Amino acid sequence: MDSKVRLVAILTSLTLILAVLLLVLLGNGDRPSDSKSGAGQKATGENSSAQTPGVQYVNGQIGENLSAFLTDETFFDQEVNPALEAVLDDSNRLSIVTTSVEKDLRVQIVDSDGIPVTGECFFVKLEGLGEYKDLDKDGVIYIGDLDAGEYYVELLPKEGYKVPLKPTRIRVKDKVEYLAIEDISLLLKTEADIDAQAEDSGVREALTDADKTEMKELQMPTGKSRVGIDVSRWNEQIDWDKVKNAGVEFAIIRAGYRGSVTGSLVVDNCFEQNMKGAANSNIPVGVYFFTQAVNEVEAVEEASAVLSLIREYELEFPVFIDTEGAGGNGRADKLDAQTRTLVCEAFCRTIENAGYRAGVYASRNWYNNNLITKNLEQQYFIWLAEYRSTPLYQGYYQMWQYTSKGVIDGIEGNVDIDIYYE
């Protein structure tokens, strides 16, 4: 709740309290007075001696306008009104944000500005199940293997912080709904927050399938194809005007990745500048996300992360899940083909339910050995990576990454080049 909304809520509460007090006082004023005893006259006389000349008093109230404080220029001045200052003091005030994808619960501890609070060991209590601890002090407590239904979750007191007075009622979902998770942006990290060298460890499976026929030049487009590139932070600074003039007709830009060690959701360091640079040079774009999801729940998280990042941009090309290995030690490297396929489907369904086209990126060997491709190619956009003059892949695909060693004016070093078939 931002400060403006909170202030309106406080003022509304004050108005209601004043209204109740006025009704009570008006009710007391209707009672018959003892005119014979003169006691009522004496009391009135005593009050009158303390009243300010020219001010209308009604049953002990000053005037009849309960909203008069709104016209008092000093009412909202916290230096003049210390009581208001105490009410509005949000320092160290905490709240929780809860989400559930499938029989799980994620509790995020945030400050008054909605920013996750890290570096502290918080505890939450789930009614009937006990207490759970933020072990890694990242402001997030994940609870899995829950029965579907309603629960009450309470953020336990923490010295130096103000916690909610009442538990929060939440609903744990029974099944994945393939819908974007609200407030997923709270989980997004920058590369400054992590060990990028360890986490961003994807290995190009297509390199093992390359041969001496690999084409490295930008191919000429035909009436039924377009040529483009895909880029990430590894391509560093890009001169998009030069890229456009070189003949590039589209770009697929990496939005981010899931860390192969910790599983953190990380925004590509060059995502924003690449999206804006391509747009300024009138180059149509799509995006991709390198996955290390180990189940459907995490795939929905990854799709939600992408959706939160592309909200302000216009996409002409699909949103891809990039499924590759991470050197054999990645958290998702040992997935079986069925689970990995479910991950890709969950990502794509979540993207499409948000109104975008979705697709899968993988090498020929990855499609053949690590995915159940028939479950994907009839529903989603297939982007093949195979570095040879003519692909050996026998499946259906709409885009082909034919080299990782392309040379394009405006980009230092090698770049991936792709052909899109219309």
- Superfamily covering domain 184-421: Glycosidases (3.20.20.80)
**pLDDT tens digits for 155-209?**
999 999 999 999 999 999 999 999 999 889 999 999 999 999 999 988 877 777 6
Question: Which pLDDT does position 23 carry in this prediction?
Answer: 56
Amino acid found at 157:
P
Question: Which pLDDT does position 45 carry in this prediction?
Answer: 39
Compute the average pLDDT of residues 390-399: 95
- Confidence tier at 316 by pLDDT (50, 70, 90): very high
pTM: 0.77
Give the C-alpha separation, 326 to 199, whole Å: 9
**pLDDT tens digits for 196-239?**
999 998 887 777 767 888 898 899 888 899 999 999 999 999 99
Domain boundaries, the chain: 1-25+55-89, 95-172, 184-421
Residue partners of 361: CB distance under 8 A and separation at least 6: 288, 320, 321, 322, 323, 383, 385, 401
Question: Which pLDDT does position 272 carry in this prediction?
Answer: 98
Question: Which pLDDT does position 86 carry in this prediction?
Answer: 55
CATH class of 95-172: mainly beta
> Are 95-172 and 184-421 the same fold in CATH?
no
**pLDDT tens digits for 35-75?**
333 333 333 334 444 444 444 434 434 455 656 556 666 55
Kindly provide the b/e burial profile for residues 387-406, where b requires at least 16 CB atoms within 10 angstroms of the residue's own CB: bbeebebeeebbbbbbbbeb
Kindly provide the b/e burial profile for residues 94-103, where b requires at least 16 CB atoms within 10 angstroms of the residue's own CB: bbbbbbbbbb
Report the mean per-residue pLDDT for the chain: 85
